[in-house]
Amino acid sequence: MIYFEKRLAPSRATTIVTPILAVILTMIAGGIMFAALGKDPFEAIRIIFWDPLFDPNFADYSRPQLLVKAGPLILIAIGLSVGFKAGIWNIGAEGQYIMGAIFGAAAALSVYPTESALIFPAMIVAGAFGGWLWAMIPAVLRTKFKTNEILVSLMLVYVAESILASVSQGLLKNPDGYGFPGSRNLQQYPSAFNEEVFTNSGMHWGVITAFIAVIFTYIMMTRHIRGFEVRLMGEAPKAAQFAGVSTTRLIVFCLGFSGALAGLAGMFEVSGPAGQITIDFNSGYGFTAIIVAFLGRLHPIGILLAGLLMALTYIGGELAQLMLGLPGASIQLFQGMLLLFLLATDIFTNYRLRFQGAS
Amino acid sequence: MSDTLLEIEGLTKAYPGVVANNAVSFKINRGEVHALLGENGAGKSTLVKMIYGLVKPDSGTMTLNSGIFEPDSPNAARAAGVAMVFQHFSLFDALTVAENIALGMDNAPKPRDLAKRIREVSQAYGLPLEPNRIVGTLSAGERQRVEIIRCLLQNPKLLIMDEPTSVLTPQEVEILFTTLRQLKAEGTAILYISHKLEEIRALCDTATILRHGEKVDTCIPAETTARDMAEMMVGASFANPVKADRVIGATLLSVKSLNSSSKEPFGTSLRDISFEVKAGEILGIGGVAGNGQDELLAALSGEMRTAPATVQFRGKNIGDLGPTKRRKLGLLSAPEERLGHAAAPAMSLKENSVITAARRMGLLASGFVNWRATNDFTKNVVSEFDVRTPGTDTPAGSLSGGNLQKFVVGREVLQRPEVLVINQPTWGVDAAAAASIRQKLLDLADKGAGVIVISQDLDELLEISDFFAALNEGRLSTTYPTAELELDQIGLMMGGSHGAGQEAHS
């Protein structure tokens, strides 16, 4: 008989080993799936995980893309992880991301074509504010009326998408754009352009902000009383109350923090890689970041690695579609497997496997 | 036919990581009241669960009436004549007494016959109970009668009672003992589980003492002192708390007409509570569980806010202040529930120190936790309060109940509170640890702090408190000096007769 036995204390080593195990299991199961699709599984895995970084034909293009894609994922996931630690579930980062982009772009476009060194900092503030404001709606509704922040934040994503569609055809539409929907391209507005800091590295200001957020959050969670309160609220809400932690303030902080970071991610995206506000500007970073947060075990360093891994499967997946003609859905399935195995192996943190003859 | 009713031979039951019972053997005779004595975790519950068919032993045999007894379910155990009254009742509030009893019977008679039999049995054993009353309106003592009568209707040969007096007032305990003695006279054997030594001395013929899952001794309680039994239970000798003469100082905390409605769905509302605590005084607040103890602690700790003037600390209104501000002033508290309320189980002891000591002990520097200072403070708690732990990084949840309680009490006491409010300071704690915790509370009062001990353990309150009051349905009785109180007067106070003595009418 095989059974699970509860560990006396959660194992720290398995916390590190299980994500690696999950990646290996995903490769095996994914390989079987690719073989069933009639492709060489080893080649497919190599194209997804190896070629984007090291193949001379693709690496020049793919390597910068890794940071371009990982940056927003990490930035959003870091913000979400703080709330998740406290048991406050912001599922609407996608909406906050959109609002950050709109606010950031609007700040620049409102003074177009003035050039000033103050414009980009102002956009950063506006982007963070837009995301924060959008997250304050579920925060206020939760603290004042006890609504469920999961539902409210999620529904607000669709509101934000409608606002995005509206402003790209109206308020922020490019007057010189021959009637096409979409704003002016910020890449052509020097004061507002979120340029690469190092040429051809993919490292734009958003990526740097993401790294800063990782370090900041790591210090906050391990050393600062606010991080302690967040963890305490997640571990034992009644103990947090006994400690004197204000639930209201913590909810506002967690939702506000994650909203502001998601807003920043949106602003850096619209002023850099995307360039303009369009109807289909958002591409699901806000939702994928939820997976990244859990893949990284809600730990800042883990999230950094998980964000890079997730970006790699995106880029490698696109490459595999191109090179092997794999259907797009199989790549999504592959990413889904990753999350599934991750959650499945999570049980080993608290339980150990035992083998015993039937008794 | 021999006198032996139940004989247990080498009963063993192991769970992963712990041997709950190791080769336990003893005998119970007909008409014998047999005590099963031991600390929490000594294996009493597992043992009776095996007798009642809830748990299957790994090895060992049981013989009932000279026949092999291997119950595979409580039904089988009941059919063989074994009945059990649990510590936690399994009754439906919305149903009547008779309906509840019928539900627990294997072949219930017709409702009218059942009501008649309930009346007969309740009269025969001096346990007045009206079959048509709704259980939700009964007191804890009356609910227990429902459970007992349910057992008695089956004419058991062996009645198992698990901590039956923990929910009773002293008067109710006397009624229960009369019933049990009558059963004994009729030849029913009783297996009586408790850690209240004086009760066992008064009631039981023989006592089997368990420690760490093993039978360590047998004694005749009437011929053994409570202290000797306690030492057999613990396996070591320990000191009784010593009370010093104290200087009583100024009033530190006063509560005036405190009213509150409970936040919890089945909580008790506090009604018009008033009392005072002076420096160097220990106020004991007794009462049966669920009469507002948790709510009173929350109102004093600051977890529940009330009108500003209802709680005053050194004359300052603090009813509307939260826990952090009250701690800063010097009003500290320790709630009953250790895991999840007083401490976070998954967090280390070090981190648990931060919960209440962060600001008062200066463990924060501009918002950052000084982990080295926190570690020093935690080490201090561990050594001064003899907390048995591998280190300060150990998760609180992996400590035993007694050790964690010592940590929780130590964490507050070492912060030099001016007033400490503590709910159930020694609940589920072994006798030696309980004695040391009580001594620390006495020492704290000696140094001039005011201490409020909320407890359901009357012996504890009589031992350490200078003044006594009782909570009943959210109301607090008048406060009396403990030394002037008689046990029956305390019973009346716990039963809700406010201003006991003068206007007793409960």
pTM: 0.79
The band of B305, judged by pLDDT with boundaries at 50, 70 and 90, is: very high
> In this structure, are B193 and B270 located in the same domain?
no
Task: Decide if B322 and A244 are in contact by the 8 Å CB cutoff.
Answer: yes
* Nearest CA distance, B16 vs chain A (angstrom): 8
Q: Give tens-digit pLDDT for A261-319.
A: 999 999 999 999 999 999 999 989 999 999 899 888 899 999 999 999 999 988 999 89
The band of B283, judged by pLDDT with boundaries at 50, 70 and 90, is: very high
Q: Which of A8, A223, A242, A353 to mutate to test the interface with B (most CBs of B within 10 A)?
A: A242
Q: Between B322, B355, B395, which is nearest A9 by CB?
A: B395
Which has the closest alpha carbon to A73: A331, A313, A271, A279?
A313
> In this structure, are B414 and B271 located in the same domain?
yes
> In this structure, are B221 and B77 located in the same domain?
yes
Order the strands of the B311-313 sheet from edge to edge: B270-278, B251-260, B311-313, B316-317
* Nearest CA distance, B79 vs chain A (angstrom): 28
Q: Is residue B373 part of a domain?
A: yes
- Rounded CA separation B506/B503 (Å): 9
> In this structure, are B300 and B205 located in the same domain?
no
Q: Is residue B500 part of a domain?
A: no
Task: For chain B, say whether A7 makes contact (Cβ under 8 Å).
Answer: no
Give yes or no for a contact between B397 and B390, defined as CB atoms under 8 angstroms apart: no
Do the bridges between strand B331-334 and strand B316-317 make them parallel or antiparallel, or are there none, so unpaired? Answer: unpaired
Please report the DSSP string for B304-352 in residue order.
S---GGGEEETTEE-TT--HHHHHHHTEEEE-S-TBTTTB-TTSBHHHH
* Nearest CA distance, B327 vs chain A (angstrom): 9
> In this structure, are B82 and B229 located in the same domain?
yes
Task: For chain B, say whether A232 makes contact (Cβ under 8 Å).
Answer: yes
Give yes or no for a contact between B154 and B78, defined as CB atoms under 8 angstroms apart: yes
Task: Identify the pLDDT of residue A120.
Answer: 96
Please report the DSSP string for B207-250 in residue order.
EEEEETTEEEEEE-GGGS-HHHHHHHHHTS--PPP-PPP----S
Every domain of chain A and the residues it spans: 40-325
Task: Decide if A235 and B17 are in contact by the 8 Å CB cutoff.
Answer: no
Q: Is residue B55 part of a domain?
A: yes
Task: Decide if A228 and B364 are in contact by the 8 Å CB cutoff.
Answer: no
Q: B199-204 contacts: CB < 8 A, separation 24 or more?
A: B199/B165, B199/B173, B200/B35, B200/B37, B200/B229, B201/B226, B201/B229, B202/B177, B203/B33, B203/B35, B203/B177, B204/B33, B204/B34, B204/B35
- For residue B340, list chain A residues with Cβ-Cβ distance below 8 A: 236, 238-239
> In this structure, are B442 and B481 located in the same domain?
yes
Task: For chain B, say whether A231 makes contact (Cβ under 8 Å).
Answer: yes
Which residues are paired to B18 by β-bridges?
B15
Please determine, for the modelled complex, whether the ipTM score is greater than 0.95.
Answer: no
The band of B503, judged by pLDDT with boundaries at 50, 70 and 90, is: very low
Q: Is residue B465 part of a domain?
A: yes
* Nearest CA distance, B450 vs chain A (angstrom): 20
Domain count, chain B: 2
* Nearest CA distance, A264 vs chain B (angstrom): 25
Structure-model confidence comparison of residues B169 and B406, the more confident one: B406
Give Cα separations from A83 to A131, A180, A224, A340 (angstroms): 15, 39, 15, 22
> In this structure, are B154 and B17 located in the same domain?
yes
Spatial CB neighbours of A121, under 8 Å, sequence gap ≥ 6: none
Q: Which of B349, B359, B369, B411 to mutate to test the interface with A (most CBs of A within 10 A)?
A: B369
Q: Give tens-digit pLDDT for B188-199.
A: 999 998 877 888
What is the CATH T-level fold of the domain A40-325, as seen in this structure?
Answer: ABC transporter involved in vitamin B12 uptake, BtuC (1.10.3470)
Q: Between A225, A235, A246, which is nearest B344 by CB?
A: A235
Tally C-beta pairs within 8 A across A and B: 72
Identify the domain containing residue B272 by its residue range.
251-494
Give yes or no for a contact between B453 and B365, defined as CB atoms under 8 angstroms apart: no
* Nearest CA distance, B303 vs chain A (angstrom): 6
> In this structure, are B325 and B178 located in the same domain?
no
Task: Decide if A224 and B368 are in contact by the 8 Å CB cutoff.
Answer: yes
* Nearest CA distance, A231 vs chain B (angstrom): 9
CATH code, domain carrying B341: 3.40.50.300
- For residue B356, list chain A residues with Cβ-Cβ distance below 8 A: 242-243
> In this structure, are B260 and B376 located in the same domain?
yes
> In this structure, are B372 and B443 located in the same domain?
yes
Chain B residue with minimal CA distance to A241?
B303
Task: For chain B, say whether A228 makes contact (Cβ under 8 Å).
Answer: yes
> In this structure, are B108 and B22 located in the same domain?
yes
Task: Decide if B347 and A223 are in contact by the 8 Å CB cutoff.
Answer: no
Task: Decide if A242 and B340 are in contact by the 8 Å CB cutoff.
Answer: no
> In this structure, are B196 and B294 located in the same domain?
no
Give yes or no for a contact between A352 and A87, defined as CB atoms under 8 angstroms apart: no
For chain A, 359 residues long, give each residue's pLDDT as a single digit of tens.
Answer: 777 777 766 677 887 888 888 889 999 999 999 999 998 999 999 999 899 988 888 888 888 999 999 999 999 999 999 999 999 999 999 999 999 999 999 999 999 889 999 999 999 999 999 999 999 999 999 999 999 999 999 999 999 999 999 999 999 999 888 888 899 999 999 999 998 888 888 899 999 999 999 999 999 999 999 999 999 999 999 999 999 999 999 999 999 999 999 999 999 999 999 999 999 999 899 999 998 998 888 999 999 999 999 999 889 998 999 888 888 898 889 888 988 898 888 888 778 877 765 44
Supply B149's token pair. 């009568």
Task: Decide if B340 and A238 are in contact by the 8 Å CB cutoff.
Answer: yes
Task: Decide if B341 and A236 are in contact by the 8 Å CB cutoff.
Answer: yes
Q: Between B16, B344, B367, which is nearest A225 by CB?
A: B367
